[in-house]
Amino acid sequence: MNILTDIAALRETLRGEKNIAFVPTMGNLHEGHLALIEQANRLSGCVVVSIFVNRLQFLPHEDFERYPRTLEEDCRALSALNVKTVFAPNEKILFPTPQEFLLALPPVADILEGKFRPGFFRGVATIVLKLFNIIQPDLAVFGKKDYQQLHIVREMVRQLNLPVNIVAGETVRATDGLALSSRNQYLNGTQRAEACHLYQTLLRIKQKIISGCNDFQALQENASNNLAQRGWKVDYISIHRRSSLLPAQAPDQDLVVLGAAWLDKTRLIDNLEIEPPIFLK
């Protein structure tokens, strides 16, 4: 397995490759990442995984410094999946000078995560654009766990005419339903036991919508209140259209319910797609 830290060496390694599949990560790989990489393996014989903790997408008060960095373990896991090429640059390689060219994003980047983490998607979009330009993949796999990120990357590809296909990977969950995330390791035992209730809450909303409930406002408020009573600090529980990711007004659409909430100092996010009831009858 080639672990490359240099852009020129990476490009040389990939020269002449057809059908490059790319999976960007911030490392600290868990089963969720590995599922995306297995998906890439099924789609391509040349999978590139990047490992880079991107400072641009952390807010000043966020956990950039303490974000877990586990390159050796990550590389063992990638090697076991037969990944041939890992791109693990340091900050000087990707930001030799301060990053002044950034992307300005549409309003959909200012809701949900963007509202609570202003600048987050600008940082994500900019690093994804840079990595696409470096690796020049034919396809890239992004997890549905970060649903809004997936939406924004797809829109970026469309509006900037990037020659890459975006493939969505399903969220991987623990047996109790908790979506896998690098941040789960910040949870203590009690918090870990409680954490599945974010998923449970979204699941109940999904079931209620499927069974015909269309008072989205009440569903969102009840869910938030229930979580708050259990000790969570809720950023949002919100029902949106899948196509535009704008807030949903009517039930007869492709929907997704998204949530973000804190257990003490750990912020968890999750979402569930909802098939429109009309298809279920």
Binding residue numbers: 26-33, 57, 143-146, 149, 172, 180-183
Q: For residues 7 and 167, which CB has a smaller minimum distance to a copy of itself in the complex?
A: 7
Q: Which residues are annotated as a binding site for beta-alanine?
A: 57
Contact pick of 5, 19, 90, 159 for a copy of itself (by CB under 8 A):
159
Binding-site member from 21, 156, 219, 258 for a copy of itself (CB under 8 A):
156
CB of 265 to a copy of itself, least distance (A): 31
User: Is residue 246 part of the contact set for a copy of itself (CB under 8 A)?
Assistant: no
Is 33 marked active-site?
yes
Stretch that binds a copy of itself, among 55-63, 132-140, 185-193, 262-270 (CB under 8 A): 132-140
Measured from the CB of residue 255, what is the shortest distance to a copy of itself in angstroms? 22
What's the one-letter identity of residue 168? Answer: A
- The total number of residues shown for the chain amounts to 281
CB of residue 124 to a copy of itself, shortest distance in Å: 13
Sheet with 266-274, strands from edge to edge, namely 233-241, 255-263, 266-274
Contact 54, 26 (CB under 8 A): yes
When binding is defined by CB under 8 A, the residue of 60, 104, 217, 278 that contacts a copy of itself is: 104
Residue 106 touching a copy of itself (CB under 8 A): yes
| Closest CB to a copy of itself among residues 101, 279 | 101
- What the block records as the tokens of 71 is 């390159």
Q: Could you give the CA distance from residue 208 to residue 214 in angstroms, rounded to a whole number? A: 8
Q: What string marks each residue from 41 to 80 as x (binds a copy of itself by CB under 8 A) or -?
A: ----------------------------------------
Interface residue with a copy of itself, options 26, 56, 124, 129 (CB under 8 A): 129
> Among the candidate windows 61-69, 161-169, 193-201, 256-264, which touches a copy of itself by CB under 8 A?
161-169
CA atoms within 13 A on the CB side of 138: 13
β-sheet bridge partners, residue 139:
21, 165
From the CB of residue 131, how many other CB atoms can be counted at a distance below 10 Å? 21
Q: Write the burial class of residue 63 (CB in 10 Å: 0-12 exposed, 13-18 middle, 19+ buried).
A: middle
> Please, what's the b/e burial string for 209-237 (b: 16 or more CB within 10 A of its CB; e: otherwise)?
beeeeeebeebbebbbebbeeeebebbbb
Quote the DSSP letter at residue 183: G
Instruction: Give the burial string for 92-108 (b: 16+ CB within 10 Å, else e).
Output: ebbeeeeeeeebebeeb
Report the 10 Å Cβ neighbour count for 40.
25
What does the alpha-carbon distance between residue 117 and residue 201 come to, in Å, rounded to a whole number? 22
Question: Judged by CB under 8 A, does residue 219 bind a copy of itself?
Answer: no
- Does position 13 interact with a copy of itself (CB under 8 A)? The reply is no
* Residues taking part in catalysis: 33
Residues that bind a copy of itself (CB under 8 A): 7, 11, 94, 97, 99-107, 122, 125, 129-130, 133-134, 136, 155-156, 159-163
